Chains A and B, each alone.
Chain A
Amino acid sequence: MNFFAEALQWLVDPANYVGLNAIPLRLAQHLGFTVVTLVIASAIAIPLGFLIGHTGRGRSVAVASAGAFRAIPTLGLLTLVALSIGIGLNAPYIALTVLAVPPILAGAYTGFEAIDRRTIDAARAVGMSEVQIVRQVEVPLGLPLLIGGLRSAALQVVATATLAAYVADFGLGRYLFAGLKTRDYAEMLGGSILVILMALALEGLFALTQRFVVPRGVLAGRPTDIRTRSSRPRPVMESAIEEGQKNVHSK
């Protein structure tokens, strides 16, 4: 409890709001790093995921390699990359992109796969070209799952972006490393709280986005249907025994 009080004190200490180690600066760096990583990862994963989802080809390869990529320890990868290209921000960008690609890729192709095949057949039947099908049917219908993939990627990246400070003077990770080594646990916990808050804020933002991107047609069909079914006054068909008895009587 004492630690928390000290950490909160650290968070409001005006001395931590000036200079090159100021909290707002570190927050902005951390957020910027997260956004850039997500953009790079999306540029790789979304087109690839759409291609896999639309054609249905290479799915098993994508599943297997995405699983393998997820298992790579980020710190180890970061060290390996930094050993070949040197310290600075490039190594963390590469390592974190590897972390962010699998969930986005999975979100992109599962979004396409979850669409009722009859919908796509119908689109094809009314004369839509393949490009039109992708743009006007598959992307809008698959969007909620894609945003879900982005949401999980953002959560992982914002938490792991602390590793950027391993090889660069960048982000909230600086508070964690410096606090740990100098036993300044207030600074360390304060830094962790900032990371948690940023993760929660991003999580909330993506949760909202996920709601808003559900196409109106899907939204109109889904929840109301469920409600009608649950508030049905009595079953249309009775239990198996009763149905059987009915048959006996009618004979």
Chain B
Amino acid sequence: MFTANRGRLALIGAVAVGAVVALAGCASGDPLGSGSSSSAESSTLVVGSQDYYSNEIIAEIYAQALEADGFTVDRQFRIGQREVYLPDITSGKIDVFPEYTGDLLQVLDDTATSGTPDAVYSALTKALPSGLQALDRADASDQNTWTVTKAFADKYNLTDIASLKNVTEPITVGGNSELETRPYGPTALSDKYGIVTAGFKPVEDGGGPLTVKALEDGDIQLANIYTASPAFDSGNLVALEDPDGLFFPSNVVPIVSAKVDDKAAAVLNKVNAALTADTLVALNAQSVNDQLAADKIATEWLKKENLI
């Protein structure tokens, strides 16, 4: 009887300690409980982010820049994918959200056509529902590319997608299954540029480390890797230029509600202007390679750029 009680006490103790640890973790990361009540106050800006590490870093940068200028910020990070959070933005529950021009435009307007980054940006500003506004777009982007290794690019003097015609050996394409049937996939290469590919090898990690490894091993020659991938940080990969807009340009752009006044908009525009393509790759590399937390990466960068 005594031992059973002691065992039970120990169990309760263990659960209590676990709960305290778990709650402490929540308190520092995501104060969901206080979020809903404080967001009603007019002085608080709600900053959201996708469930994607790179997006969270950008959201954290926006949040810290706003805080440094005296705004009160409520962080609602890692909400999910676009289908999940888009209704919350349009209904005004979130005031600032880092988005990507081309990706968002295609969701809002399924007849949209690709073009230059500026064309896509202006199309997006028109497609946004009333009450929402797109601030200035950043140079940084997170979009599809056709990517080859540096050695392969040097060997055949490759610069843009069309120059793949110089390649004399068979080109095997690698990437997620859906790449095979996407409008910018291997079919587009042959239809638009007359580049015939030798085959398709599925690598289902979305342009992650396995895809990079396959490129380096020569198992594939051409892969779809996102421009913001930390893999570009090594300098061993070359994303072929896309002057014809085969891919939708997807630059980082803050989508804001009417609650964001001119002063807050100015803060975000200033930060966004400093966010170059190389910067975003470097920030992502800090997260993936050095395992740094989003808030630390954001603080460090903002200080380095004298933005806070």
B202 and A174 contact, CB distance less than 8 A = yes
For chain A, the count of residues having a C-beta within 8 Å of the partner chain is: 16
The closest CB in chain B to the CB of A87 belongs to B214
Residue interface mask B187-221, A partner, CB < 8 A = 1: 00000000000001111110001100110010110
Within 8 A of A (CB), among B158-208: 174, 176-178, 180-181, 200-205
Q: Chain B: interface residue count, which band?
A: 10 to 19
A83 and B177 contact, CB distance less than 8 A = no
CA distance A174 to B181 in the complex (A): 13
A86 and B204 contact, CB distance less than 8 A = no
Q: Which residues of B contact A69 (CB under 8 A)?
A: none
Q: Is A192 an interface residue (CB 8 A)?
A: no
B181 and A182 contact, CB distance less than 8 A = yes
Within 8 A of B (CB), among A175-209: 177-178, 181-182
The closest CB in chain B to the CB of A79 belongs to B210
Residue interface mask A156-178, B partner, CB < 8 A = 1: 00000000011111000010011
CA distance A86 to B217 in the complex (A): 7
Other-chain residue from B178, B200, B203 in contact with A167 (beta carbon distance below 8 A): B203
CB distance from A57 to the nearest CB of B (A): 35
The closest CB in chain A to the CB of B212 belongs to A83
CB distance from A20 to the nearest CB of B (A): 9
The closest CB in chain B to the CB of A180 belongs to B177
Q: Is A82 an interface residue (CB 8 A)?
A: yes
Residues A82 and B202 in contact in the complex (CB < 8 Å), given A177-B177, A181-B176: no
Most chain-A CB neighbours within 10 Å: which of B176, B178, B180, B204? B204
Q: Is A140 an interface residue (CB 8 A)?
A: no
Q: Which residues of B contact A174 (CB under 8 A)?
A: 177, 202
Other-chain residue from A83, A88, A166 in contact with B204 (beta carbon distance below 8 A): A166
CB distance from A161 to the nearest CB of B (A): 14
CA distance A177 to B205 in the complex (A): 11
CB distance from A176 to the nearest CB of B (A): 9
The closest CB in chain B to the CB of A82 belongs to B210
A177 and B213 contact, CB distance less than 8 A = no
The A-B contact count (CB < 8 A) is 55
Q: Which residues of B contact A181 (CB under 8 A)?
A: 176-178
Q: Which residues of B contact A88 (CB under 8 A)?
A: 219
Other-chain residue from B180, B181, B213 in contact with A83 (beta carbon distance below 8 A): B213
Q: Which residues of A contact B174 (CB under 8 A)?
A: 87
B178 and A178 contact, CB distance less than 8 A = yes
Q: Which residues of A contact B202 (CB under 8 A)?
A: 165-169, 174, 177-178
Q: Which residues of B contact A165 (CB under 8 A)?
A: 177, 202, 204
A182 and B201 contact, CB distance less than 8 A = no
Within 8 A of B (CB), among A64-87: 79, 82-83, 86-87
Q: Which residues of B contact A182 (CB under 8 A)?
A: 177-178, 181
B204 and A87 contact, CB distance less than 8 A = no
CB distance from B164 to the nearest CB of A (A): 21
A87 and B201 contact, CB distance less than 8 A = yes
B204 and A167 contact, CB distance less than 8 A = yes
A169 and B210 contact, CB distance less than 8 A = no
Q: Which residues of B contact A167 (CB under 8 A)?
A: 202-204, 210
B203 and A178 contact, CB distance less than 8 A = no
B178 and A86 contact, CB distance less than 8 A = no
Q: Which residues of A contact B201 (CB under 8 A)?
A: 87, 168-169
Within 8 A of A (CB), among B219-236: 219-220
CB distance from B232 to the nearest CB of A (A): 18
Within 8 A of B (CB), among A193-237: none
A177 and B219 contact, CB distance less than 8 A = no
CA distance A25 to B30 in the complex (A): 49
B217 and A177 contact, CB distance less than 8 A = no
B209 and A177 contact, CB distance less than 8 A = no
CB distance from B256 to the nearest CB of A (A): 30
CB distance from A33 to the nearest CB of B (A): 15
CA distance A177 to B180 in the complex (A): 12
Q: Which residues of B contact A169 (CB under 8 A)?
A: 200-202
CB distance from A77 to the nearest CB of B (A): 13
The closest CB in chain B to the CB of A178 belongs to B177
CA distance A165 to B210 in the complex (A): 13
- In addition to A167-B210, A168-B202, 6 A-B residue pairs with Cβ atoms within 8 Å of each other are A79-B205, A82-B213, A83-B209, A166-B204, A166-B205, A177-B176
Query: What are 26 A-B pairs at a CB distance below 8 A?
Result: A82-B210, A86-B214, A86-B219, A87-B174, A87-B203, A87-B210, A87-B214, A87-B217, A87-B219, A88-B219, A165-B177, A165-B202, A165-B204, A166-B203, A166-B205, A167-B202, A167-B203, A167-B204, A168-B201, A169-B200, A174-B202, A177-B177, A178-B177, A178-B181, A181-B176, A181-B178
Interface, chain B (partner A; CB < 8 A): 174, 176-178, 180-181, 200-205, 209-210, 213-214, 217, 219-220
